[in-house]
Amino acid sequence: MKALSILLVSIHFLLPAIGMCQIAQGLLVSAAEERPVKGDAGYFFALRQVPLSEKHYIFLADPLKRAVYVDGGKNIVLSHTMTVRNAKGFDMYFSAADYNLILAVKEAKEIVEGTTGYKGTLSIRHGSEKHKLAVHGFQNR
């Protein structure tokens, strides 16, 4: 009886997290594999030296700011913690188990109605490793 109780409690705590991660990964990773069209809302960023037309996004976030960071072959699901606006742009903070990311946007211009282009940096902290990448991307509304 005690083993059954422990099993049920374990399943209760694991299933919601697994389901949430699969939904977020399914929504955002599928967006990473296809070129976003005007109807796909969210943020899409690639390394600055990679043309956006190649669709090799390393960071994606939906309108609710649930995000995925593509680290090598792994998709890291992140949660938005806060956005800080300043005179030069804005910083969006995201975190996961062992990851902290800051998307710092310094340049923004409207490409077409409902789509804004951005240039900035993506700062990644994974454990004791720190990286800062120049990125560009866009937001569809």
Question: Tokens 């090598």 map to which residue?
Answer: 72
Share of the chain above pLDDT 90, in %: 60
pLDDT at 10: 40
Residue 133 pairs in a beta bridge with: 122
Given a contact cutoff of 8 angstroms between Cβ atoms, the answer to whether 58 and 98 are in contact is: no
pLDDT reading at 114 higher than 90: no
**The predicted structure's pLDDT at residue 60:** 96
Does residue 134 have a pLDDT over 70?
yes
Higher pLDDT, 55 or 39: 55
Per-chain mean pLDDT for the chain? 79
Which residues in 107-116 are b (16+ Cβ under 10 Å) and which e?
A: eeeeeeeeeb
Question: According to the model, what pLDDT value does residue 16 have?
Answer: 42
Average pLDDT for residues 94-116, to the nearest whole number? 93
Report d(CA 5, CA 82) in Å as an integer: 38
